Amino acid sequence: MTTPDLSAASATPAEQERLLRERLQRSGYLADADLATTVWLASALQRPLLLEGDAGVGKTALATALAQSQKANLVRLQCFEGLDLSQAAYEWNYGRQLMAIRMSESDKDGAGRVRESDVFSRDYLLERPLLRAISQSGPCVLLIDEIDRADEAFEAFLLEVLAEYQITVPEIGTIRATHIPQVILTSNGTRELSDALRRRCLYHYLDYPTLAREIAIVKSALPEADTRLVEDAVQFVQRLRREDLAKIPGIAETLDWVRALFQLRHSHLPEDMSAVLGTLGCLLKTREDRFVMGPERLRQLVEGRRTVGVAENTNEQAKVAA
Q: What's the pLDDT tens digit per position in 155-170?
A: 988 998 999 999 999 9
Q: Which residues make beta-bridge pairs with 168?
A: 174
Q: Which amino acid belongs to residue 175?
A: I
| Predicted confidence (pLDDT) per residue in 52-76, tens digit | 999 999 999 999 999 999 999 999 9
Q: How far is Cα 293 from Cα 29, in angstroms, rounded to an integer?
A: 31
| Predicted confidence (pLDDT) per residue in 193-236, tens digit | 999 999 999 999 999 999 999 999 999 999 999 999 999 999 99
Q: What is the pLDDT of residue 226?
A: 95
Question: What average pLDDT score do residues 254-263 get?
Answer: 96
Question: What average pLDDT score do residues 13-22 get?
Answer: 90
Q: What is the pLDDT of residue 46?
A: 93
Residues 6+ apart with CB under 8 A from 282: 253, 256, 257, 259, 260
Reported confidence tier of residue 1, pLDDT bands at 50, 70, 90 = very low
| Predicted confidence (pLDDT) per residue in 109-121, tens digit | 655 566 766 788 8
Other CB atoms within 10 A of residue 31 CB: 23
Q: What is the pLDDT of residue 321?
A: 41
